[in-house]
Amino acid sequence: MKSLLFLALTATLAAAAPRPNVVFFLIDDLGYADCGFNGGTDIKTPNIDKLAAEGAILENHYVQPVCSPTRASLMTGRYVSHTGVYTIVRPHSKWGLPLEERTLANALKDAGYTTAITGKWHLGEFQDAYKPTSRGFEHQHGHYFGAIDYFTHVRDGSHDWYHDDKELKEEGYSTHLVAKEAVRLIEAQSKDKPLFLYMPFNGVHSPMQVPDSYLQPYGSLTGGRKQLAGMLAAVDEAIGQVVAALEKQGMRANTLIVFSADNGGPPPGSNTPLRDFKGSIYEGGVRGAAFANWPGKIPGGQRLTAPMHIIDWYPTLVKLAGGTLEQKLPLDGRDIWPVLTEKAPSPHDAILSAQSIQNAAVRMGDWKLIVSSGAVEDDEAPKKKKAKAKAKGGKYEPVMLFNLAADPSEKTNLAAKEPERVATMKAKLAELLKDAVPLGVKP
């Protein structure tokens, strides 16, 4: 009887324990070394850097090479080889994140959270069932496509700005509008419920547009780098506004903030010292600038080196929220809370980076194997783009092995010198891809 009473009391206390608000900043096309916390020196990011310094910087945080696949991985806790979202969901494409996938927003909403997205969705919009308010988000503000005009909110002749999945004519620079809506949501949040606020900025993705006032501090920079600096400064300002709103509402102490790039930066972004850029499974394409901050819960001043993947946030956040991970589709992500709070080793024995079934990589410890047999798949690309993709696929040798601890820039292919390691890692990669689905699982 005493044991049963103790268990009941424990369960009651656990249920009564405050669950964190979660704010997830996803920055579009941010370079690994563009912000100060990862070595950047020419662009001022004081709000971002302060959060990073007071939290845990994640030096080996893996994402996908391009936009939609990273979003799919975050929303499902599953590798792209299982969702089929290997590439960008282009405007009006007749597919999106498969409807059978349970999203992070679904899981947190079921756990009693207010769920909101303000920013870029990019996971399908051709039918209402694919839009954010049908995928677990109670509130939506922003756009569905990538590469919209920051001022007109138009992409290829289509106006792309919505509130709760209904078209909205709203004037203003999109980074400002995303932040304004986030602040409104924070101010309106009930004290009786925790908040999941997902902020996938369209900054700093092209087109390179920003109000002139943000360029003034960067007179020493030129061209695209100057534009990027202004755009990132606007994102930094927006993040500062969100943090200030959390503080004003008395929510900051119980808010977990996660910050991540969605892929490596393209030029003029900087991924130093990593090799290559967005669109690549070299480290410059798939290792994203990232950190996590929760005052009093995640020790500050850390630089964690344990490899992790954006799929890991799904189980980590759902467990923190007191939600359930029982679901139809199996998860690939692992709980990284012990890594963040106790410097535990990575929960993964291997991490997959798949650009396609033909071009994929696996990281095991300090070692990374890339196996390539062809170009990037894209069944919607015109012939010229397919030819360009095929040429791009040629950047990889058929088998490449790197020791990332000694060679973070992936300059020296050790495959010929390490045949046994190559064989072991090839077998692991094959295991990870054995049930891979085709590109773009369509309804």
Count of other CB atoms within 10 angstroms of residue 146: 23
Kind of pairing, strands 21-27 and 255-261? parallel
Distance from C-alpha of 233 to C-alpha of 392, rounded to nearest angstrom: 32
Count of other CB atoms within 10 angstroms of residue 14: 9
Question: Looking at 288-358, which runs of residues are DSSP E strands?
Answer: 290-293, 302-304, 308-309, 351-354
Q: Is 67 a catalytic residue?
A: yes
Instruction: Out of 35, 67, 153, 205, pick the active-site residue.
Output: 67
Count of other CB atoms within 10 angstroms of residue 158: 12
- 3-class SS of residue 213: helix
Any alpha helices (H) in 88-222, and if so which ranges?
A: 104-110, 174-188
Radius of gyration over every alpha carbon of the chain, rounded to an integer in angstroms: 21
Single out the residue of 81, 27, 93, 105 nearest to residue 269, CA to CA.
27
Q: What share of the chain is helix, strand, coil (3-state, %, to 5)?
A: 35, 15, 50
Q: Is 35 a catalytic residue?
A: no
Q: Check the CA dihedral 96-82-351-255 and report its sign.
A: positive
- 3-class SS of residue 243: helix
Count of other CB atoms within 10 angstroms of residue 4: 8
Distance from C-alpha of 192 to C-alpha of 183, rounded to nearest angstrom: 18
Distance from C-alpha of 275 to C-alpha of 282, rounded to nearest angstrom: 6
- Give me the residue label for tokens 């020790």: 299
Describe the strand order of the beta sheet including 166-167 as a list of residue ranges: 166-167, 162-163, 139-143, 114-120, 195-200, 21-27, 255-261, 290-293, 56-58, 302-304
Instruction: Out of 35, 61, 82, 122, pick the active-site residue.
Output: 122
User: Residue 81 has which token pair?
Assistant: 């080889």
Any alpha helices (H) in 287-436, and if so which ranges?
A: 313-320, 337-342, 383-393, 419-433
- 3-class SS of residue 27: strand
Phi, psi of 151 (to 5 degrees): -105, -40
Contact 121, 161 (CB under 8 A): no
Please list the active-site residues: 67, 122
